[in-house]
Structure 1
Amino acid sequence: MIDGSVMDTAAKWEQVSKVLGRSVTACKWRFKILHHSRKHIQATVDSQSLVTSEVQRQRESSSDVDWSQVCQATGLGMRECLELSQYDVGKASWHYDPDSFSQSMADCMAGFIKEHYLASTPVNYRAVSNFMWVTMEDYFKWTESEYERAAALRARGLTFKEAARHLSPTLTGPIVCSALNRYSLPNPAQEPISLDKLEEVNGLVDEYAGKHPVVEIMDKIRTQLNLGDRRNYYSLLALRIAAHPHYKAKIRDIDYNDLSIRIAMGQATKKQAAKDLDIPYYVLDRRLRDLNSRQFSSRWTEEETLKLLDYVQIGDSTPDIAYFSKLLGTKSSKQCCRKIDLIRSKGILPRLAKTR
Structure 2
Amino acid sequence: MTKTVLLTGVSGYIGLHVAKLLLEDGYHVRGSIRSKSKEKHVRDTLHAASVDTSKLTFVELDLSKDEGWDEAANGSDFVVHVASPFTVANPKSEAEMINPAVEGTLRALHAAEKAKIKRVVLTSSLVSMMGSMKSGTVTPSHWTDINAKDVSTYIKSKTLAEKAAWDFVNSQASTNQMELVVINPGAVYGPPLGDNLTGASMGFIDQMLKGKLPMVPRLAMPMVDVRDVAKLHVLAMTHDGASGQRIIASDSKPHGFADVAQVLKDEGYEGPSTRFAPNLIIRLSALFDREAKGMLSFLGMNVSADNSRTQQLFDWTPISFNKMIADTGAAVKAHQTS
TM-score (norm 2): 0.24
Give the helix-richer structure, 1 or 2.
1
Larger radius of gyration: 1
User: Quick check: which one's strand share is greater?
Assistant: 2
Q: Normalising by structure 1, what TM-score? A: 0.23
Which structure is higher in RCO with an 8 Å CA cutoff and minimum separation 6?
2
